[in-house]
Structure 1
Amino acid sequence: MLHHRQLTQRQVLMGSFCIPVIIMGVYFACRGMAPFGSSSLLTVDLGQQYVDFFSYFRRIILHHPSELFYSFSKGLGGEMFGTNAYYLFSPLNLLLLFFPGASLTSGIMLVTLLRYGLAGITLAWCLQHLNWQQGPRIWAFSTAYALNGWMIANQLNMIWLDALIILPLIFYGLVKLLNGGGSGTYIGWLALMIIDNYYMAWMICLFTILIVIWQLPVLSSWQQRGKQLWRYVWSSLMAVGISAVVLLPTIFALLQSKGTYTETSIHSRFEYNPCKILAKLVPGSFNFDQMPKGQPNIYIGMLLMMGLVLYLLDRKVKWSQRLLAFLITAFMIMSFCYEPLDLLWHVGQFPVWYPSRFSFIFCFWVIMLAAKTLIANSDVPKWQIGVLIILTGGITYYVHTLHLSYISPNQIAIGFAFAVISIAYLAIPRRYSPLMYDLLFIVLIIADVATSALVSLSHLAYVSQPEFGNYTTALNAAITKVPTSDHEFHRVAKTIMRTKDDPLQSGFNSGDHFGSTLEPQQPAFMGAIGQPDGDGFISYANGTKVSDALLGFDYTLSASENRDHSDLPFSGYRPDWFSQQPLAITHGIGVRRNRNVLPLAFGANKQILTLGHATLDPLNYQSQILQALAGKPINKPLFNVQNFTSVDFINVQPAQQITGTTFKKQDPSQPAVVRLKFTPPTNGSYYLTLGPAVKDSATLSLNNKRFSQYNTYRNTVVLNIANHHKKRPVIITLRLKKNSLWMENVSLYQLNQQAFNTSLKALQHSPLQISHMSATTVKGHVTIHRGQSVLMTTIPAATGWHVKVDGQTVTPQTVLGIFMAVPMTTGPHTVVFHYRPPYLILGTCISITCLMITLLTIRYRQKHLEKK
């Protein structure tokens, strides 16, 4: 009999896993998602960020383990341990090792389906072991949980989805602990959650406090409540301690990066009308516009949402516990829209896209309350049915009056139909046909949440498999032409880009990155030298010969001429590269070597130690940096201002001065153009500066062809518009998109090639000869010459870097607000740079200590119980 019962439970668990997997798998196949067709699951951040991190993860596991801690593929170089703790520490990511290159999208499909199934099975296991539900009825709750509105809306945020899997196990362990059981389950799963993703774990930790408050009335005495409260606090601290090996280095890394954006002023205000949340009770109430700013995605099916109301009205539950449940529910709803509470759940920062990221907890909470009250053989009183009818009618009418873009009348009708059927179901006693009653319960809820999931996902667009696969294959092939060894360092610049994390995707050093843990010093510096930047991203799309040299971009990638480049999206234009013959052309990408660059570290003049950022002109700043390094007067610029030969004004007022002028349409109904012309007198390099106001008000074309330029930037950028173009006219056309155009920082410059060559040659005289190179260690020899007293590097300064010169530990200085520089005496030196994540050793010691204490405590408790 026992064996039969265990077998039945296993079958229920398997069904809880398979049902959501089958529903979503069939949908993905019908949509032609790879490997079933030419589409993919890649969209928004999954396509622009996470897929590249997954490729990087494969590389560090299989080939370059030192990049676990630091990588020069993260912008100009940055710590990776804290970054990985946010993006990559899910054990499920190990499955992606079997999907290289373009096939990675198929691996993402597999892992996504697996997460749907695991979310279902862990909730089913939790309900079974709490004895809140039994038998096939569990499938209704597990499927609603696996396909809840948060899960569907955040399917693309794969890095968060493990929270949905682990939450039921933490909840079970906590309820077990509060009822006098062992603490091992709670400690173990909470520690794993913190290690898996500390960000989502913070939300779950807050939720455990609410659960403790909710469970206190169940305990018999204040003495027992005090005892279990202490056990909860102690167990939580042990879980945090066990995870310290990840948590301490990560917290430090966050304080240097994402933590700098934490809100310092909090306003007591509602972000929107809380009643708008009612619209999320309609199936499929989600679309792309809801991602940047919207209401929480909380859909779990009509019947289970009604279960929340019935729990609060259920007189069989202690009034004190129902009151606490109501207050907790109200607290969560307030947290969705009340700014101080919103910030609390999101660790003090407003979400950049994907609002109410903790709404998965609300979904779980409501499902668990529904599981407590929607039990077999439990009849619903008629007065409660009346309450549900009034609520359904009122909410349906209110949502209909909102006229929201992400909800169609058909969706409202479908939701109302599911609500009516659910009320009718609750009004019919189960005793007349228990089997049919339970079957209807399961089918109704699964059909409801499946409909909502499929409608929501149909509102999104996805990256095609060829768009990802062809570009990735071409980029990987081109990167193989760049030499790699443990005694060389190369940075690669390019004028093509699928995402800003291309370097992580294909494993090369560059100046691009998009990530939540990017140190703010990098966007500040890159923006100052004329590169696109923002909070959390940089892109080396607007280089000059000077910036190429300073940052050591000794290899370049650009689309070859006379070829269809539909698979190679352009991000910039660099004619000054084309004077060099390609080393190789593969998949339409030309690979070139640039020898006019500086190495990763080189001898320089001490003038660089005191150089400030006193100019807002990016070309002037580049000039000052190179001249200071070379020991030359910084007031002798490398770039000279040039005048335009002529200017045409079409449907705008004429002006004597271009930069700083605001041009306005004379006839608002007609096109307006400002056309700038000049004829280069030499074959040198010419650059145009452009303020961010221009991109919002005009489109730019060069010689009647649309100019390739990454268009997200907030500082003045530098455009290379001519090289080897002597006595051939260059035409820059600005077409107004609005009624006015502010010509912010629109100026033309020419590079003084001779002065540049002189300064560069002086600096190339003292390179660091690298003897060993890895992501975390740089060893080499350098000879510092007269007039030089600094070893300048283009390694971003960070606390984890440790430097030894001739065997002696030295403290590097930070120059230009970003890079390490080491003061040195004249003569030959041996130098070693080594990176170790701060607090990694301390965190490891704390983790081992807490793990040992936990194991000993659990063992002691077991022996004590055996004696009793």
Structure 2
Amino acid sequence: MTQIQSAAPEKPDKQSRTKFYLILSFLIPMVLMGIGFLLQKVHPFGDRQILVVDCWHQYYPFFQQLHEKLRHGGSLLFTWDSGLGSNFLPILSYYAASPLNLLAALVPDSLLREAFTVNLLLKIGCAGGFFALFLKGTFRRNDFSLCIFSVMYALCSYLLGYYWNVIWVDTVALLPLVVLGMVQLVRDGKYRLYVIALGLSLFTNFYIGMFTCIFAVLAYPCLCVFYLKPRHLAGRTLMMLVASLLGGGLAAVLLIPTYLALQLTHSVDNVFPTGWEFYENWRNLFANLISYHEPTSKDGLPNLACGMLPLVLIGPFLRARKIRIREKVAAVLVLAFLLVSCNVNILNYLWHGMHFPNMLPFRFSFLFSFVLLTLAYRAFQLLLEERFRIWDIAAMLVLAAAVFLCSYSVQENHAVYWSFATAVLYVLIALLYFRKIFTPRLMYAALSVVLAFEMFQNVKLGTETVSTSDYPSYPSSQQYVEFLEQKIDEQTGDSFARTEMSNWFTLNDPALYNYHGLSQFSSTANESVTSFLHALGLPASEAGNRYYYAGGSPITNWFTGIQYLICRTGSLLDTAHWQMLAMEGTSTAYQNSYGLPVGFVAERSLADYEGNPNGNPFENQNELFRFATGIQEPLFTPVDVRDVGHEGVEVTRGGYGIYTYQVDAAAESRILRYNYQTQTEANLYGYLSTSNTASVTVYKDDNYQGSYSLSRQPYIFPMGTYQGNETASLSATLNEEASAGGVTVYVYQLNEALLEKAYQMLSAGGVNVTEYSDTKLCGTVNAQKDGLCYFSIPDDSGWSVQVDGETVSSVKVGGAMLAVPVTAGTHTIRLTYCPPGFPAGAAISAGSIAVLILLYVWERKRKKPLLQPVPAQVVSAQAETQEEPEAQLEQEHVPTEETQISEKPEEEET
């Protein structure tokens, strides 16, 4: 039997110093994932890409925005290319703070999506490499076993199901370094790795970093039980608290501004669950631990699987007398707590920061895989050290059978059979090694073959489940749009102007196409801005953290500052208020004939506008128009239905615009159709809301005019200009599964004379922008009388306002938008932006770095570490484990690298 050396050699041997296994641990999962992408024909191996779901709408557009700032020197504090102007630090903190993203500065625009994919592969590789570092540093081993277990961590079902959520992968990859840092702090008195890894984890993604912090609270007592005597506990605990504060301090430059920004979001209003509930049958959760089945990519069970080998090794871990009872109890309690957290509503709510997430459930479940693999490696270590007994092999077989029985008839049959076969193969390999039929090299070779097959199949299933999107069409009409943006820039010169798309491609088109726009879909979206725009009839959802542009009306364009519009395909229906500027390919740019600048002087009564997001959006616009101009006559007047042309549905009217319907199940078509006619020439605008249709189509005298998507939120849309003898129709085809429901449909006529009068009034007090940058906007304004200078800029308290050099307080319009009181006359207005909390966060981060440097210099000067390693404890194995007499005295800790166990088998030595 291999013996533990009693004394360290003067020099570590070559095996203990090699980085070969760490490099392999990095490369193997990255290569396997790359092969998965190759099979999915991801570019450059085909015409597909990894941008799906939020990766399509959020992660890549914000990555593109960061790339633009890095390449052209923009500020990271604020952006005009999202949400009418937004604090960029929270966006950066959640979506784009990965250190690997800094490499984007070296990549041209034409290769940015390829760089995005390579970044993901590098993160997968880092997950494997960092887990290998954790195992190497914690268990003092440096052999091929590092590669075996690191691949299972890097390709666990959590990462295979959620890899499209690329913003989370960094922090999952960093978790092993954080835990290794904790081990070094408790065991060796070394704190720097923990501080830096924790700070980097929180900096990279505060949300997943929160899970790491919670896990650190769970893991620290376990490490104390493993390593410390009572007399060391106070000093180590104090150091742990100080190191944790330093780690958080390193990331404070992002954490504090992000925390303050999150107080403005919808999620801050969540309500604590009133009672305990279980989500799933426990057997379903256990069955989800096996391999060869599709991981959860959007909604479903928690992703817990990380391979069959760690499952069968649970048996030896629990049975082995060489593993102390307290180690077993601690590991089982942590695993059980994590598993219960995935099935109990209150624990799930607390884990997610007092919030129930939309989609992607149990976002902390990667912690379960980490703990499971760690305890499995502890058992595997005994196999390598030839401390297994025949009962350990039997325990592996029992676990394989238990997994089969638990998952049979619950999980897919093919997954159950393949998983059981894989588990039996692992048991057989362990048995052959135990019987010395396999040498270590042969054992590793056999394990590698089985594991490679298992992991490859899991990668294949994962990439197929997550799916891909079309590469050539993303972004849509990009060359045309870029050309039209140049034409708009030539038109505006150095002045500030906003542009939007007539219909969206992603929900973050301004970030994707690099223009000053309105649309934003972000977990950090300001809820008050969402409600303001929702009330005006723009597509917006407070719970969905989104608002975006879709046509609108002259009033929405005034109060959002939209002066230019790009139509990627087709043409506009609202030809009365837009003038064609340029055309390229299938795309056309338009200039707003009634456009107002980013700021204009309105009546002081504008401050009294509130708006009702749940009310009639046309009446909200009338109210905003009245408060801004002082004109009491309504700008929009309702047009009643002349007649209907429904097919296959019976509709009942409950008031103007309010209907309920019942579907005839035998009908071949299910169509809602409303016909309108005005007495004179009129520009009409519509609004239709129902949950059972994907779009609404506009007809003029039964001739198709255009259609609008209703797959997300309802909104006001232009219907075009109609003569008194022409019929305007709205038609919506109901989904096949629709049986009954409600419909809200409004059609309003715009008073053109009143619009012209108000436009002349407001444009006379428009702000002439003389200078602007990412964090500054300056201009002059000539107010005809005392009033309120309204800016189509969200007011989140980060703005500092000066009028004629004097600092003044801003006023919020509709609880969301920035406005400045002005007196009659000419004024210079200067707006400057600094994210709330940024100065304090930057000071704390700088102070934390300074403390780390001072501690390092002080330790070097004293030639003595701040904390001393705890002495290795020597315990009686018989007292705690009732082991055989020859193992009564055994070191409590695994040996250091210098005293590493020899892996040379006895046969080779002979």
Residues 790 and 821 in structure 1, CA contact (< 8 A), matched pair in contact too = yes
Could you say which residue in structure 1 is the equivalent of 2:427?
423
Query: Per-residue displacement from partner, 1:254-293 (whole Å, max 9, x unpaired)?
Result: 1122552444445322222232212222224335xx3343
Q: Quote the Cα distance in structure 1 between the aligned partners of 2:133 and 2:551.
A: 55
| Cα drift, residue 861 of structure 1 | 4.0
Could you say which residue in structure 1 is the equivalent of 2:30?
21
How has the CA–CA distance of structure 1 residues 865 and 124 changed in structure 2, closer, same or farther, with 3 Å as cutoff? same
Amino acid at match of 1:112: L
| Cα drift, residue 366 of structure 1 | 1.5
Residues 379 and 429 in structure 1, CA contact (< 8 A), matched pair in contact too = no
Amino acid at match of 2:344: Y
Could you say which residue in structure 1 is the equivalent of 2:165?
157
Q: Which moved more, 1:89-98 or 1:830-839?
A: 89-98
Query: Per-residue displacement from partner, 1:488-533 (whole Å, max 9, x unpaired)?
Result: 1211132232201110011112221111100101221121111111
Residues 525 and 818 in structure 1, CA contact (< 8 A), matched pair in contact too = yes
Q: TM-score, normalised by structure 1?
A: 0.92
Q: Quote the Cα distance in structure 1 between the aligned partners of 2:724 and 2:63.
A: 47
Match of 1:239 among 236, 244, 247: 247
| Cα drift, residue 682 of structure 1 | 4.2
Could you say which residue in structure 2 is the equivalent of 1:495?
502
Could you say which residue in structure 1 is the equivalent of 2:354?
348
| Cα drift, residue 53 of structure 1 | 0.7
Q: Quote the Cα distance in structure 1 between the aligned partners of 2:62 and 2:585.
A: 23
How has the CA–CA distance of structure 1 residues 804 and 669 changed in structure 2, closer, same or farther, with 3 Å as cutoff? same
How has the CA–CA distance of structure 1 residues 439 and 528 changed in structure 2, closer, same or farther, with 3 Å as cutoff? same
Could you say which residue in structure 1 is the equivalent of 2:883?
none
1:401 equivalent to 2:409? Answer yes
| Cα drift, residue 442 of structure 1 | 2.9
How has the CA–CA distance of structure 1 residues 274 and 721 changed in structure 2, closer, same or farther, with 3 Å as cutoff? same
Could you say which residue in structure 2 is the equivalent of 1:647?
644
The 5-angstrom pairing of residues 346-745 of structure 1 reads 346-375=352-381, 376-402=384-410, 408-430=412-434, 431-432=436-437, 433-483=439-489, 487-534=494-541, 535-559=544-568, 561=570, 574-577=572-575, 580-613=578-611, 616-633=615-632, 636-653=633-650, 659-666=657-664, 668-693=666-691, 695=693, 700=697, 702=699, 703=702, 705=704, 708-714=707-713, 717-723=715-721, 727-737=725-735, 742=741, 744-745=743-744
Could you say which residue in structure 2 is the equivalent of 1:837?
835
Query: What SS class does the counterpart of residue 690 from structure 1 fall into?
Result: strand
Could you say which residue in structure 2 is the equivalent of 1:568?
none
Match of 1:138 among 109, 133, 146: 146
Q: Which moved more, 1:5-14 or 1:750-759?
A: 5-14
Query: What SS class does the counterpart of residue 474 from structure 2 fall into?
Result: helix
Residues 668 and 739 in structure 1, CA contact (< 8 A), matched pair in contact too = no
Query: What SS class does the counterpart of residue 467 from structure 1 fall into?
Result: coil
Could you say which residue in structure 2 is the equivalent of 1:565?
none
Query: Per-residue displacement from partner, 1:316-368 (whole Å, max 9, x unpaired)?
Result: 12211211111111111111111222122211111211111112222122212
Could you say which residue in structure 2 is the equivalent of 1:854?
852
Residues 690 and 742 in structure 2, CA contact (< 8 A), matched pair in contact too = no
| Cα drift, residue 382 of structure 1 | 3.4
Q: Which moved more, 1:78-87 or 1:427-436?
A: 427-436
Q: Quote the Cα distance in structure 2 between the aligned partners of 1:100 and 1:683.
A: 51
Residue identity (%): 24
1:279 equivalent to 2:287? Answer yes
Match of 2:48 among 29, 39, 63: 39
Amino acid at match of 2:561: G
| Cα drift, residue 667 of structure 1 | 5.8
Q: Quote the Cα distance in structure 2 between the aligned partners of 1:664 and 1:259.
A: 36
Residues 99 and 106 in structure 1, CA contact (< 8 A), matched pair in contact too = no
Could you say which residue in structure 1 is the equivalent of 2:774?
775
| Cα drift, residue 829 of structure 1 | 1.2
| Cα drift, residue 864 of structure 1 | 4.4
How has the CA–CA distance of structure 1 residues 338 and 309 changed in structure 2, closer, same or farther, with 3 Å as cutoff? farther
Match of 2:327 among 321, 328, 345: 321
Q: Quote the Cα distance in structure 1 between the aligned partners of 2:237 and 2:476.
A: 57
How has the CA–CA distance of structure 1 residues 233 and 730 changed in structure 2, closer, same or farther, with 3 Å as cutoff? same
Could you say which residue in structure 2 is the equivalent of 1:55?
64
* Unmatched tracts of structure 2, length 5 or more: 1-9, 869-910
CA RMSD of aligned residues (A): 2.6
Amino acid at match of 1:198: F
Query: Per-residue displacement from partner, 1:722-745 (whole Å, max 9, x unpaired)?
Result: 225563333333344466555533
Count residues with an aligned counterpart.
Answer: 845
Q: Quote the Cα distance in structure 1 between the aligned partners of 2:788 and 2:261.
A: 28
1:804 equivalent to 2:802? Answer yes
The 5-angstrom pairing of residues 160-199 of structure 1 reads 160-199=168-207
How has the CA–CA distance of structure 1 residues 454 and 480 changed in structure 2, closer, same or farther, with 3 Å as cutoff? same
Could you say which residue in structure 2 is the equivalent of 1:30?
39
Residues 331 and 371 in structure 2, CA contact (< 8 A), matched pair in contact too = no
How has the CA–CA distance of structure 1 residues 342 and 552 changed in structure 2, closer, same or farther, with 3 Å as cutoff? same
Q: Quote the Cα distance in structure 2 between the aligned partners of 1:275 and 1:155.
A: 26
Query: What SS class does the counterpart of residue 293 from structure 1 fall into?
Result: coil
Q: Quote the Cα distance in structure 1 between the aligned partners of 2:181 and 2:779.
A: 53
Q: Quote the Cα distance in structure 1 between the aligned partners of 2:378 and 2:672.
A: 70
How has the CA–CA distance of structure 1 residues 834 and 457 changed in structure 2, closer, same or farther, with 3 Å as cutoff? same
Query: Per-residue displacement from partner, 1:207-251 (whole Å, max 9, x unpaired)?
Result: 112221111223352111222122111111111122222211111
| Cα drift, residue 663 of structure 1 | 2.8
Residues 300 and 449 in structure 1, CA contact (< 8 A), matched pair in contact too = no
Residues 665 and 739 in structure 2, CA contact (< 8 A), matched pair in contact too = no
Query: Per-residue displacement from partner, 1:535-567 (whole Å, max 9, x unpaired)?
Result: 211121140122223322110111455xxxxxx
Query: Per-residue displacement from partner, 1:609-654 (whole Å, max 9, x unpaired)?
Result: 1223268111121122123211222xx2111222333323444447
Q: Quote the Cα distance in structure 2 between the aligned partners of 1:322 and 1:398.
A: 22
Residues 560 and 589 in structure 1, CA contact (< 8 A), matched pair in contact too = yes
1:257 equivalent to 2:265? Answer yes
Q: Which moved more, 1:3-12 or 1:32-41?
A: 3-12
Q: TM-score, normalised by structure 2?
A: 0.88
How has the CA–CA distance of structure 1 residues 654 and 783 changed in structure 2, closer, same or farther, with 3 Å as cutoff? closer
Q: Quote the Cα distance in structure 2 between the aligned partners of 1:47 and 1:475.
A: 18
Q: Quote the Cα distance in structure 2 between the aligned partners of 1:339 and 1:60.
A: 41
Residues 694 and 743 in structure 1, CA contact (< 8 A), matched pair in contact too = no
Amino acid at match of 1:428: L
Query: What SS class does the counterpart of residue 618 from structure 2 fall into?
Result: helix
